[in-house]
Structure 1
Amino acid sequence: MDKRGSRRKSAARKDGASRAAADEPQSRVKFWMRRLVIWGGALAVLVALFVGLAVVFAARSMPGYYQLKATQTAQTIVVRARDGTEIVELGPSYGKWLTSDEIPQVMKDAMISVEDRRYYSHFGIDPYGLVRAVYTAATGDRRVSATSTITQQLARNVFLNNNRSLDRKLREAVLAMALEAKFSKEQILELYLNKVYFGGGAYGVDSASRKFFSHPATELSTAEAAIIAGLVKAPSRYSPTADVNAAVGRASVVLRLMKEQGRIPADATVDPSAVKLKEEAGQNSVRYFTDWALPQLDLLLPETFEPIEVWTTLDVGMQRAATASIKSNTPDGAQGALVSMDRDGAVLALIGGTDYIQTNYNRATDARRQPGSSWKLFVYLAALEAGYTPDDRVVDTPVSINGWSPRNSSGRNVGEIDLRTAFAYSINTVAAQLGNEVGFGTVASMARRFGITTEINTYPSMVLGTNEVRLIDMTRAFAAVSAGGNSVEPYGILKVETTDGDLLYEHERNTRSTQLVPDYVAAGITDLLQTAVATGTGRAADIGRPVAGKTGTTSSNKDGYFVGFSSGITTGVWMGRDDNVRVGGLQGGTAPARAFAAYMRYAVKDRPVEQFDTDLQLPEWQLEPDDEYMLGDPEDYYFIDEQGNLIEPGTSDAPREDPFGDEFDRTLEGDRPRQPVPGQRPPQQPQQPPQPQQPPRGVDGAPQAIGDDFLNEATGARRDQRP
């Protein structure tokens, strides 16, 4: 019995030990879980305390309701041309302040449905919406909507700016909770609907209703309320005066949300497309320029809401001339765009489309389209930098590169020509060969160097302009050539002042201009560009004074390009359809070149005629003398026969031995005199040095079969090493 009892006790001890060992990890987990909960709870309490104190402090220091009503934070901006002429006044237009009872309930419902569906249940920030946004962002769902509540938007509009920083978002959240703590939901909604920006300078629902529908907001219908509510997300994009289809489409989204949330009957029939919009007089194309230039103020100025005056680079006369040239030359059904800048990058005129009221989409600065052969600027820049000159011989022949076989627009190949002619007549096969020789990556790097900001692929076809670019970037690149190969930075704002005359900003002349290519490369490409206008595809751009430029036409005539410069002004023109459909007869050398000429005749009329610097001062490494110059006329060479006897020069019936062989003959054949390009000076041939009339003699006085010059050249000796 004692033994059995002893065994039972021993087993019990072992069992208890095993249970203790098994419980030990669980107890540790519980221990750390308790600590985590305690620490997390303590941290949460501290954060809540900190946020609570911040909210209380913000609420106590916040202006009262009537002060907020009286405070208008929107900014009035007077925009002036470079000569001080006022061209447009932008800024707030406030309608009548409507109390909460005066604002139609359908307007409130529409705004809450699309901007903040849980408005009446949150405390300024929407935790559910925030968690949902974080989750959808983490799972890669692109249908993430804005997480700012109506209260947060009001806090941002009244107290903050639109900078997207973590600090600003945190302050926005604190201020939103302070607003909720200090004011009622109806007061907050009233403030919001009377202060929010709806586009076109309209602040508040009453101003928006009068601007878009010609009646006060108290008379808004359901469809009109849906249109107005839909504007808050993107006032410019969804403005009914700019794009009716976009406004109607957005309003349909608002109406669907109102039905889903039960704010209007599910079977209600509302047609926003039937809404009668207010007729508005056509706006000046200046708005294309201001849409591009004024957003730069966010980077140039400190945060301020006081009225300001902005002096721009815009020339009123040039802008009118640009508008007329685009409207009168753009083919029916197509759009046109123009950018013109001075030699320092100052934008003198900018047209983003044929009609700003029809569409305010800025094709000059935002649209990405193929530039066609105007892209060859970068191909030939790379070739010139690699050692080519405009007079070098190239061969227009069928070519295949990695299975890609480009064709010329004429369908023919003309054989051997010089580089100048190949560029002037935009011969595709030559551009393909040059791009292949210097490297397509080199061409892409050259485009980047000259200011192309869009994505660039390096497929062989890129040499013909298949990459999509912005017109303003292409114009900038050509302006850099006009500036002698120095970088150019486009800008539109000269200075900014308050209405009291205090200077807030003034443009400083760019002293950090970078030389992008050597002078001889800039001179060489200018030579080619001038020839393209004088005798090549850009003849329609001639304005009676020196012009350098390049045409561009894409496949099936979907895009037409012309970019060029004269007397320090560089102008780029694009034409095509927004839907990328073919435009019959559209080529860079037709309508775009004619629009360029019509505008440039006015733009340069008060400027002196400037001749282009096309004198190529080649670097020393390119100044190697050619064989014919060094060796003289091949008929004057000295040869020896099989027995070693000297043969006199000019003896045609004697057997001769060519010391350089067939390879040298082929070199001479390739260097035969070039055919001059029409309108160009024939290249000057180097004068031949006098040839010896008698066989030369060595240091011992014996006659030499071959002179020292010939020996030095044949053995590779340098001329400067001769005695």
Structure 2
Amino acid sequence: MIVLAAATSLTMAAPELPPLPPITRDPQVTYVDRSGAVLGVRGGRYAPPVDLAKLPAYVPAAFIAIEDRRFYTHTGFDPVGIGRAILDGVSEGRPTQGASTITQQLARNLFLSADRTVERKAKELVWSIQLERTYSKKQILALYLSRTYYGSGAYGLEAASRRYFNKPAARLSLREAATLAGLMKSPTNYNPIQQPEASARRAALVLDAMVETGAITPADRAKAMAAPLKVWNSAPTAPAQYFVDWLDAQRRQIMPQPKQDMVVETTMDMALETAAADSTRAVLARYKSQSVGQAALVALDGQGRVRAMIGGADYAAGPYNRAVTARRQAGSAWKPFVYLTALEAGRTPGMAVIDEPLTIGNWSPQNYAGGYLGQITLEQAVAQSVNTVAVRTADEVGRANVAATARRLGIASPVNTDPAMALGTTLVSPLEMTQAYAAFSNGGLRVAAYGIEKIRTNGGQVIYQRKAGPQARVIANPALSEMNQMLRTAVASGTGGRAKIAGYDLAGKTGTTSDYKDAWFAGYSGGFTTVVWMGRDDGASMGRITGGSAPAELWRGFMTVALKRGPAQAIPAGPAAPVLAPPPVEVLVPVVEEHIEPAAQVPAEVPEDPPI
């Protein structure tokens, strides 16, 4: 009764009430894919006030019915509700229900802590009355819906709708709206993911309240409860958060502290990202018994646009982006740089070479099967990933020249030139490898991977626009066509057999490192390149996982979707033109200290995949 009397007195003492504190909100940066679908939000926690005009009428009605039926008639607090709560508390001997209006809840979220003290409650009443005098009911409700916590990391109605139902709030169904309104009592106890039965019971109570207030009919209620409710256990855009983090660091360099909400238009195709995540999840589950812990995937088009990026098995478990930051030995996926150097020096795919024992210094490389094939062609050596021939070829054309070729194509990390470099002992990221292989796919043009197309305000004012310059030619014919033909053979009849997709022009290369610590598949079609890496964060061995097994299967699962989504293109031959002077080496991705086990200087053996 004291609080009720105090509230009445405060209402009477209007002129003496202190002014409202300013309502502030840090700007948000929203990242969208190439079609405008929201990928993620960075920056401030809270979105702008909800646009009530874009919501179905039953959405705000659900919150009003269960939280504050007299919202449109009270002046900030509800004397009837307070009185009922007091009487119920007296009859039960303890507090049984709250009496906070939507306006009071908003005042608490905006200006106060959740401490349950008389002083805090008094301040809450003061600010509630002032909110009502300063803003319209629609403004208060819009602010309330955008400032409330809905559980599972979602602040605001829009974020909650996307988190739980993978749709904008404007498309919420009646049952979904009731589910979200039910969360206001307790985002933990009525969470539809962790507590589906309790959530359903609470949603039913919300619908009952809506019938009582006349917001819906009994028939509407019955139909809503009968409708299936699909709740996403993990955020549908969770795999894309690796990509968003990568871009957010770049955005901060362009605009460190935005003064207003911004939208970043990106190159990602969310449908392809979903396909990449699905394929990654399925393959990791299939090979779990063989100690495969992590995977990374990068897909680029021929201009360097990142269309998909998977940085690990589970973003929620840790945001470490293996696609960009991790550097691992490339294994035999490095060999195309060796053979391209040889082709540019005048060798041909049909040239005879000898697979036989080889010793350089005190090191003798071994083949995967342990034996030797004798006289074969250079093309066969690529297809069967013969280690001795790759090592001998690199030694003959010059390992420094091989390093220069790799850098010319887009490898930014330091390249070692010891005898084992031909077998992929250099530490590289999946992003770098995708950049380098993209030159094979697009007619010999250098690619610099990028993800930001444009940064603009919500109103459409462009703050940043990427300017695409001409791509430097870094591979010419006949070497380009010959290299592509050799890598086609590696997929058609070599170690990359599990990557084959009928009806498409594909090429690629497997890679496996010492003791099965890393496994790669790097492949492409016309103008589209995807690289897959699999391994463990602790650098431990996997159970005989080669690049031609799990990585090739993951690559095939993703590319089957990617190739159908875009027009199928043959791998371009490229013009018969001399290679342009290579551009200065750019550090396209940050070089960081890595916790992964470093490369051995001279591995005893780098196994490779047997042909399939």
Matches within 5 A, 1:287-306: 287-301=241-255, 304-306=258-260
* Inter-partner Cα distance in structure 2 for 1:580 and 1:68: 57
Q: Sort the Cα spacing of 1:364 and 1:213 in 2 relative to 1 into closer, same or farther, 3 A.
A: closer
Q: 1:572 aligns with which of 508, 526, 531?
A: 531
Q: 2:519 aligns with which of 556, 560, 572?
A: 560
Would the aligned equivalents of 2:527 and 2:571 in 1 still touch at CA under 8 Å? no
The equivalent of 1:586 in structure 2 is: 545
Matches within 5 A, 1:320-469: 320-330=274-284, 331-332=287-288, 333=291, 334-469=293-428
Higher relative contact order (CA 8 A, sep 6+): 2
The equivalent of 1:275 in structure 2 is: none
Q: Deviations over 1:306-331 (max 9, x none)?
A: 10111111111101100011111123
Q: Does 1:482 align with 2:441?
A: yes
The equivalent of 1:700 in structure 2 is: none
* Inter-partner Cα distance in structure 2 for 1:613 and 1:339: 21
What secondary structure sits across from 1:605 in the alignment? Answer: helix
Q: Sort the Cα spacing of 1:69 and 1:289 in 2 relative to 1 into closer, same or farther, 3 A.
A: farther
Would the aligned equivalents of 2:476 and 2:575 in 1 still touch at CA under 8 Å? no
The equivalent of 1:74 in structure 2 is: 26
Q: Sort the Cα spacing of 1:565 and 1:68 in 2 relative to 1 into closer, same or farther, 3 A.
A: farther
The equivalent of 2:44 in structure 1 is: 92
What secondary structure sits across from 1:497 in the alignment? Answer: strand
Letter aligned with residue 242 of structure 2: Y
Would the aligned equivalents of 2:444 and 2:574 in 1 still touch at CA under 8 Å? no
Q: Sort the Cα spacing of 1:310 and 1:373 in 2 relative to 1 into closer, same or farther, 3 A.
A: same
Q: Sort the Cα spacing of 1:460 and 1:71 in 2 relative to 1 into closer, same or farther, 3 A.
A: farther
Letter aligned with residue 444 of structure 1: A
* Inter-partner Cα distance in structure 1 for 2:573 and 2:548: 23
Would the aligned equivalents of 1:559 and 1:575 in 2 still touch at CA under 8 Å? yes
Would the aligned equivalents of 1:301 and 1:505 in 2 still touch at CA under 8 Å? no
* Inter-partner Cα distance in structure 2 for 1:509 and 1:212: 37
Letter aligned with residue 29 of structure 2: I
The equivalent of 1:541 in structure 2 is: 499
Q: Deviations over 1:514-560 (max 9, x none)?
A: 11122322112111111100110001000111111000001111111
The equivalent of 1:312 in structure 2 is: 266
* Inter-partner Cα distance in structure 1 for 2:311 and 2:435: 16
Which structure 2 residue ranges, 5 or more long, are not aligned?
A: 1-17, 47-107, 117-146, 156-231, 579-610
The equivalent of 2:566 in structure 1 is: 607
Would the aligned equivalents of 1:379 and 1:443 in 2 still touch at CA under 8 Å? yes
Superposed CA RMSD in Å reads 3.2
Would the aligned equivalents of 1:523 and 1:616 in 2 still touch at CA under 8 Å? no
Letter aligned with residue 486 of structure 2: L
* Inter-partner Cα distance in structure 1 for 2:111 and 2:343: 68
Displacement of 1:607: 3.3
Letter aligned with residue 536 of structure 1: G
Which structure 1 residue ranges, 5 or more long, are not aligned?
A: 1-65, 104-205, 215-279, 620-677, 680-723
* Inter-partner Cα distance in structure 1 for 2:377 and 2:327: 33
Q: Sort the Cα spacing of 1:67 and 1:323 in 2 relative to 1 into closer, same or farther, 3 A.
A: farther
Q: Sort the Cα spacing of 1:84 and 1:430 in 2 relative to 1 into closer, same or farther, 3 A.
A: same
Q: Sort the Cα spacing of 1:383 and 1:71 in 2 relative to 1 into closer, same or farther, 3 A.
A: farther
Would the aligned equivalents of 2:269 and 2:308 in 1 still touch at CA under 8 Å? yes
* Inter-partner Cα distance in structure 2 for 1:77 and 1:389: 52
* Inter-partner Cα distance in structure 2 for 1:89 and 1:359: 18
Letter aligned with residue 45 of structure 2: S
What secondary structure sits across from 1:285 in the alignment? Answer: helix
Larger radius of gyration: 1
Displacement of 1:282: 2.9
Displacement of 1:213: 14
Would the aligned equivalents of 1:76 and 1:306 in 2 still touch at CA under 8 Å? yes
Displacement of 1:449: 1.2
Displacement of 1:615: 9.1
The equivalent of 1:224 in structure 2 is: none
Task: Between 438-447 and 596-605, report the one with greater CA deviation.
Answer: 438-447
Q: Does 1:514 align with 2:488?
A: no
Displacement of 1:88: 2.5
For normalisation by structure 2, the TM-score amounts to: 0.59
Q: Sort the Cα spacing of 1:100 and 1:337 in 2 relative to 1 into closer, same or farther, 3 A.
A: closer
Q: Deviations over 1:192-247 (max 9, x none)?
A: xxxxxxxxxxxxxx999x98899xxxxxxxxxxxxxxxxxxxxxxxxxxxxxxxxx
The equivalent of 1:525 in structure 2 is: 483
Displacement of 1:606: 3.6
What secondary structure sits across from 2:364 in the alignment? Answer: coil
Would the aligned equivalents of 1:329 and 1:591 in 2 still touch at CA under 8 Å? yes
What secondary structure sits across from 2:357 in the alignment? Answer: coil
* Inter-partner Cα distance in structure 2 for 1:311 and 1:555: 41
Would the aligned equivalents of 1:93 and 1:207 in 2 still touch at CA under 8 Å? no
What secondary structure sits across from 2:463 in the alignment? Answer: strand
Q: Sort the Cα spacing of 1:369 and 1:505 in 2 relative to 1 into closer, same or farther, 3 A.
A: same
Displacement of 1:347: 0.4
What secondary structure sits across from 1:422 in the alignment? Answer: helix
Q: Sort the Cα spacing of 1:101 and 1:486 in 2 relative to 1 into closer, same or farther, 3 A.
A: closer
Q: Deviations over 1:641-663 (max 9, x none)?
A: xxxxxxxxxxxxxxxxxxxxxxx
* Inter-partner Cα distance in structure 2 for 1:69 and 1:468: 55
Q: Deviations over 1:340-392 (max 9, x none)?
A: 01111010010011111112111111111111100101111111111111111
Q: Sort the Cα spacing of 1:365 and 1:302 in 2 relative to 1 into closer, same or farther, 3 A.
A: closer
What secondary structure sits across from 1:337 in the alignment? Answer: strand
Displacement of 1:75: 2.2
* Inter-partner Cα distance in structure 1 for 2:109 and 2:574: 68
Displacement of 1:68: 14
* Inter-partner Cα distance in structure 1 for 2:468 and 2:19: 44
Q: Sort the Cα spacing of 1:73 and 1:97 in 2 relative to 1 into closer, same or farther, 3 A.
A: closer
Q: Deviations over 1:658-703 (max 9, x none)?
A: xxxxxxxxxxxxxxxxxxxx99xxxxxxxxxxxxxxxxxxxxxxxx
What secondary structure sits across from 1:475 in the alignment? Answer: helix
Letter aligned with residue 44 of structure 2: P
Letter aligned with residue 280 of structure 2: I
Displacement of 1:611: 3.0
* Inter-partner Cα distance in structure 2 for 1:337 and 1:211: 26
Q: Sort the Cα spacing of 1:78 and 1:372 in 2 relative to 1 into closer, same or farther, 3 A.
A: same
Q: 1:495 aligns with which of 450, 454, 474?
A: 454
What secondary structure sits across from 2:360 in the alignment? Answer: coil
What secondary structure sits across from 2:317 in the alignment? Answer: coil
Displacement of 1:494: 1.6
